[in-house]
Amino acid sequence: MAQFISTQKRQGYAIISIAKEPVNSFDTAMWQALHAALQAVETDSSMRGVIITSGLQRDIFTAGNDLKELYAPLTSAQQYATFWEAQSRCLVGIHSSRLATAAAIRGACPAGGCAISLCCDMRLMTAGAGGAIGLNEVALGIPVPKYWAGVMVQVIGHAAAERLLLSGSMVPPKAALQLGLVDELVDDKAQLLPRTEELMQQAVKLPGGARAATKAGLRGDFDEAWLQYALTWEAGPRGFARITDPNTVASVGAAIQRLSKGGGKKQPQSKL
Amino acid sequence: MAQFISTQKRQGYAIISIAKEPVNSFDTAMWQALHAALQAVETDSSMRGVIITSGLQRDIFTAGNDLKELYAPLTSAQQYATFWEAQSRCLVGIHSSRLATAAAIRGACPAGGCAISLCCDMRLMTAGAGGAIGLNEVALGIPVPKYWAGVMVQVIGHAAAERLLLSGSMVPPKAALQLGLVDELVDDKAQLLPRTEELMQQAVKLPGGARAATKAGLRGDFDEAWLQYALTWEAGPRGFARITDPNTVASVGAAIQRLSKGGGKKQPQSKL
Amino acid sequence: MAQFISTQKRQGYAIISIAKEPVNSFDTAMWQALHAALQAVETDSSMRGVIITSGLQRDIFTAGNDLKELYAPLTSAQQYATFWEAQSRCLVGIHSSRLATAAAIRGACPAGGCAISLCCDMRLMTAGAGGAIGLNEVALGIPVPKYWAGVMVQVIGHAAAERLLLSGSMVPPKAALQLGLVDELVDDKAQLLPRTEELMQQAVKLPGGARAATKAGLRGDFDEAWLQYALTWEAGPRGFARITDPNTVASVGAAIQRLSKGGGKKQPQSKL
């Protein structure tokens, strides 16, 4: 999957671009590839920051998980465990990165795409119509993973996160800004990356070691608990039991069919 | 006490109405009865939500705990433990319910009434004059129970909760809305239940299993710690020692006398 | 160091004034002296509150830690452990005090000064130009101590705290008020203490035992974890390893030199 992810290095930071048409869906190999790309930046001591963005033609950050990985008839306990571990190691890797991290979000940012962006230090988004961000799993009949919800709680507070999550809502850019779900909007697509780079250039000027140690103090306990829970509970028999629940199988099956009919064109946000 | 609590079932949700004149005070039997009413809704698989409201004549949600249960001369270590367990199991039961939960608040909502409403997923309140909501225990000389404070922290954030709790404040409807202590105001009493039902109808349309699992992820650890603390620390010798403290006995005794003189008419908010 | 700290008792509360020219820098003895002054108020049963303020000529609350205590060439593992313990016991002592606590902040309030004020129940600040507050350690190349960051998270929320801390920012009074970093501004220096006393007089009217028990419920678990971490991790070999890191030695050395040149006059905020 490495062919779908490209890394460009600038002075002090890198830009990781994800471009797997049509909607940047994440299966096991994609999570592993994104994680590997992040680690490659981290091991370069000249790098102090990373921007994650989409290289798709359409205005989609990523539609999140490939539903086939969550559809019991198409996977196995073993495969599901591998998938969940790859996904969780990548997300915890972003959240706990020593680097300054930014998500540059163009358009739709549902589910797993929202999770990736919430794990970054800052989120910029295009203001344009059609964009929306949120962990909309409940609307599709699937629980929001516990620590995805937890990251949203950190970013916008407990009550606001509960309201969004329990209603399966995605919110448009302006509402996302007001909630603190994103930090800044840009008027035009063309400004998205330049403005994100401008903020990143400020961030990487700061002493990297002190910044990283402070970030570890703020996030370390949470990330340790997250990985522990993901690898034992969610990737284990209890996690797999969840996706073999008949209601969940029906919900995910219906979502797959809906998406295959629409070719993912109309409702990229309904992917996980 | 079951005669004071009535449950009406609608399509997909139920309305639990509490009407023990004059102020819906909660002693052991009332906590048990409310808990039983909730559990009866939960075991009905056609039910996905519940609204809790007051059926009193006056504009009072509930005045909270019956002070006699907190007044050392009128209780015993054994009785206090039973009371505290009943209260805590009911509140944790509401907070951890698989159901979508809403409090429809008319008028005064002090102390235990505020705790019940904070345990719901959403709170609607009449905007009318005279209404107020808060955990006002400190003003009466009694500590706010640790996890009641914790639920308020979840709903309005740590700093705002500290300010309210340490000053023993109750806030009027508009301020409550601004703080996020309630989610929405209705202009008129007559709109309270219809509007709450309207929002509940939206909530119960969502896939119930995914919603419940997401809610459990957000609240489960907290609820487990709450019940553990309530049953061991608060319902145990250290909890009872608190209410036998001479200052607390004097404060609670004075409050009982004040309320018995006023007949509970003027200051329902000063009950616990 | 007791000569730098004076305590005046009023009706129900005390005012602790810190005046060690030029910038109220805190070495081991100063932390011990402030802690002792606090404890002396706490052991007086007629006292229910305390105000902490600066008695300096210039508009500085305190510049925080004496950098010599953090500069590896000028200290030892043993001395650093003693210093860190004194500092942490004082801060945790303020945060967990049974007293109502207020910081009356005139002017610059960087780093350790900000930590002291964040540990109080309320913060008032002069609105005047030149004032600023924040944990600006990262800008100086030093990590923000984990639980200092945690206290800021409690006061202004996780996302806002991360933004300030990771950018090493100090914010002027108006922005501090909007963030909730301070609770109220006063227009004029002359109003600072009178207004703080006015609010303190309200706070000490409330039943002190119930207030203290409620505060302990809100902060107790956090404070226990803080002290444990400070005494084992930070005051131990891993904490000392941090300040012997060559980058940190260089950063702290440069800051000391900068301050000794400027005599602490121009940039008191760049002390820790």
Q: pLDDT tens for residues C190-235? A: 999 999 999 999 999 999 999 999 999 999 999 999 999 999 999 9
Cβ contact (<8 Å) for A214 and C158?
no
* A interface test, pick of C70, C114, C144 with most A CB neighbours within 10 Å: C144
Within 8 A of A161 by CB-CB distance, chain B residues are 218
* Alpha-carbon span B188 to B180, nearest angstrom: 20
Count residue pairs from A and C with Cβ separation < 8 A: 70
Within 8 A of A183 by CB-CB distance, chain C residues are 163
**Residue A105: strand pairing partners:** A125
Residue C67 has pLDDT above 60, yes or no: yes
Report how far apart, in Å, the C-alpha atoms of A89 and of each of A146, B205, C85 are. 15, 34, 36
Within 8 A of C215 by CB-CB distance, chain B residues are 162, 166
Cβ contact (<8 Å) for A145 and B217?
yes
Nearest to A207 among C141, C161, C163 (CB): C141
Query: What's the confidence (pLDDT) of residue A128?
Result: 86
Smallest Cα distance from A139 to chain C, Å: 26
Amino acid at C129: A
* Alpha-carbon span A37 to A45, nearest angstrom: 15
Closest-CA residue of B relative to C99 is B166
> Which chains border B (3 or more CB–CB pairs < 8 Å)?
A, C
* Alpha-carbon span B96 to A143, nearest angstrom: 15
Instruction: Say whether residue C238 is in contact with chain A using an 8 A CB cutoff.
Output: no
Instruction: Say whether residue A247 is in contact with chain B using an 8 A CB cutoff.
Output: yes
Cβ contact (<8 Å) for C247 and A202?
no
Cβ contact (<8 Å) for A207 and C251?
yes
Residues 6+ apart with CB under 8 A from B214: A137, A138, A143, A144, A149, A165, A166
Amino acid at A30: M
Query: What's the confidence (pLDDT) of residue A269?
Result: 42
Cβ contact (<8 Å) for B214 and A140?
no
Query: What's the confidence (pLDDT) of residue C262?
Result: 60
Give me A155's structure tokens. 């970013």
Smallest Cα distance from C127 to chain B, Å: 21
Please return the burial class of C57, using the count of CB atoms within 10 Å of its CB with bins 0-12, 13-18 and 19+.
exposed
Residue with structure tokens 């340490």? B166
Smallest Cα distance from C159 to chain A, Å: 5
* pLDDT tens per residue across span C112-161: 999 999 999 999 999 987 899 999 999 999 999 999 999 999 999 999 99
Positive/negative CA dihedral, A221, A225, A231, A234: negative
Instruction: Say whether residue A209 is in contact with chain C using an 8 A CB cutoff.
Output: yes
Cβ contact (<8 Å) for B121 and A165?
no
Residue A121: what are its φ and ψ, rounded to 5°? -75, -30
Closest-CA residue of C relative to B137 is C210
Mode of pairing for the β-strands spanning C122-126 and C100-105: parallel
Contact A169, A134 (CB under 8 A): yes
**Residue C9: strand pairing partners:** C14
Query: What's the confidence (pLDDT) of residue B271?
Result: 43
* Alpha-carbon span A137 to A151, nearest angstrom: 15
Instruction: Say whether residue C229 is in contact with chain A using an 8 A CB cutoff.
Output: no
Smallest Cα distance from B33 to chain C, Å: 28
End-to-end CA distance of chain A: 19
Residues 6+ apart with CB under 8 A from C179: C156, C160, C164, C171
Mean pLDDT over C169-178 rounds to 97
Residue A43: what are its φ and ψ, rounded to 5°? -80, -5
Nearest to B210 among A143, A146, A150 (CB): A143
Smallest Cα distance from B250 to chain A, Å: 37
Q: What is the DSSP letter of A12?
A: S
Range B157-182 burial, b when 16+ CB lie within 10 A, else e: bbbbbbbbbbbbbbbbbebbbebbbb
Within 8 A of A211 by CB-CB distance, chain C residues are 138, 166, 168
Q: What is the mean pLDDT of chain B?
A: 94
Q: Where are the beta strands (DSSP E) in chain C?
A: 5-9, 13-18, 25-26, 49-54, 64-65, 100-105, 108-110, 122-126, 132-134, 184-186
* Alpha-carbon span C141 to C249, nearest angstrom: 9
Contact B140, B272 (CB under 8 A): yes
Residue B262 has pLDDT above 80, yes or no: no
Nearest 5°: the CA angle A179, A172, A189 is 110
Positive/negative CA dihedral, B166, B171, B175, B178: positive
| Three-class HEC string of C88-149 | HHHHHHHHCCCCEEEEEECCEEEHHHHHHHHCCCEEEEECCCCCEEECCHHHHCCCCCHHHH
Q: What is the mean pLDDT of chain C?
A: 94
Report how far apart, in Å, the C-alpha atoms of C61 and of each of B232, C97, C115, C161, C269 are. 44, 20, 11, 21, 10
Residue B167 has pLDDT above 90, yes or no: yes
**Residue B108: strand pairing partners:** B60, B132
Cβ contact (<8 Å) for C166 and A215?
yes
Count residue pairs from A and B with Cβ separation < 8 A: 70
Is-cis flag, bond preceding B268, omega within 30?
no
* Alpha-carbon span B15 to B193, nearest angstrom: 9
Give me C192's structure tokens. 């600072």
Neighbours of A106 (CB within 10 A): 22
**Residue B109: strand pairing partners:** B133
Contact A269, A136 (CB under 8 A): yes
Give me B66's structure tokens. 């019956």
Cβ contact (<8 Å) for B146 and C206?
no
* A interface test, pick of B211, B222, B224 with most A CB neighbours within 10 Å: B211
Neighbours of C3 (CB within 10 A): 8
Contact A124, A185 (CB under 8 A): yes
Check residues C83 and A270 and name the one with the higher pLDDT.
C83
Nearest to C211 among B138, B157, B163 (CB): B138
Query: What's the confidence (pLDDT) of residue B158?
Result: 98
Give me B149's structure tokens. 């404070």
Cβ contact (<8 Å) for C166 and A210?
no
Check residues B20 and A130 and name the one with the higher pLDDT.
B20
Nearest to B210 among A138, A149, A157 (CB): A138
Within 8 A of A162 by CB-CB distance, chain B residues are 121, 215, 218
Residue C79 has pLDDT above 50, yes or no: yes
* Alpha-carbon span B181 to B155, nearest angstrom: 7
Residue with structure tokens 């309904």? A270
* Alpha-carbon span B185 to B196, nearest angstrom: 10
Contact A141, A252 (CB under 8 A): yes
Nearest to B155 among A138, A142, A159 (CB): A159
Within 8 A of B143 by CB-CB distance, chain C residues are 209-210, 213-214, 217
Residue C192 in 3-state DSSP? helix
**Of C76, C62, C74, the residue nearest C26 (C-alpha):** C62
Listed as ranges, residues in chain A with pLDDT below 50 are 264-272
Helices A208-229, A77-95: inter-axial angle, 10-degree rounding: 160
Nearest 5°: the CA angle B163, B238, C222 is 40
Smallest Cα distance from A17 to chain C, Å: 24
Nearest to B214 among A159, A166, A247 (CB): A166
Within 8 A of B209 by CB-CB distance, chain A residues are 141, 143, 245, 247-248
Cβ contact (<8 Å) for C202 and B167?
yes
Residue C261 has pLDDT above 90, yes or no: no
Q: Where are the beta strands (DSSP E) in B135-226?
A: 184-186
Within 8 A of B213 by CB-CB distance, chain A residues are 143, 242
C6 backbone φψ class: left, alpha, beta (φ>0; ψ -120 to 50) = beta
Closest-CA residue of C relative to A182 is C159
Amino acid at B272: L
Instruction: Say whether residue C37 is in contact with chain A using an 8 A CB cutoff.
Output: no
Q: What is the DSSP letter of C234?
A: I
- Using CB atoms and an 8 Å cut-off, which of residues 108-167 of chain B contact chain C? 137-146, 149-150, 153, 157-159, 161-163, 165-167
